[in-house]
Amino acid sequence: MSEVRHRQRLREKDASRISQILSEELGCSVKLDEKPLDAGEYGDLKLLFHGQKVVGIVINEKPFPSLRLLQELKPTRKYVEVDMGAVKFVVNGADVMKPGIVDCDKQILEGDTVFVREALHRKPIAVGIAIEPGEKLGNREKGKGVHTIHWVGDKIWDMW
């Protein structure tokens, strides 16, 4: 990956719409329209910025907060919780395997963007796409549960 390209300022109306979408999706108040919001491309990802801070990622044409912003927000929806044995793999970019999932939001649908949190402190450690719906993610069967896109320590994390 290289540097951020095609960075442009979003209109206040668009920033308000993104804040509203995120607030509804995550079940917490998201205020991205208080400061200017920019969009830019980083490799094949579209990112959202407040100044030099990455505050969001656009995945499948939908905005989702970056891990740094998720840690500030304390969301109550769209989460997948993993046991402590899975943490070391997830923070190195591995996909989340279903046997490591101990809890999740049952309203997750296949293809939804979700965040992965660790079970002890419930801190977000990754963002990814659910491979199966929430009812099937927590059944501890074999296979992948979440395809990881952004994790603690990756290049997006280091942009903060």
Q: What is the mean pLDDT of the chain?
A: 93
Q: What are phi and psi of 5, to 5 degrees?
A: -120, 160
Chain centroid, CA 53 distance in Å? 15
Q: What residue type is assigned to position 107 of the chain?
A: Q
pLDDT of residue 18: 93
CB atoms under 10 Å from CB of 46, counted, come to: 16
Q: What domains sit in the chain, N to C, each tagged with a CATH number?
A: 4-72 (3.10.450.120), 73-158 (2.30.130.10)
Q: Give this prediction's pTM.
A: 0.91
pLDDT of residue 2: 59
Give the integer Cα–Cα distance in Å for 51 and 49: 6
What pLDDT digit, counting tens, does each position of 100-117 carry? 999 999 999 999 999 999
What pLDDT digit, counting tens, does each position of 47-106 carry? 999 888 999 999 989 999 999 999 999 899 999 999 999 999 999 999 999 999 999 999
Task: For residue 147, give the H/E element and its range.
Answer: strand 144-151
Spatial contact of 95 and 130, defined as CB atoms under 8 Å apart? no
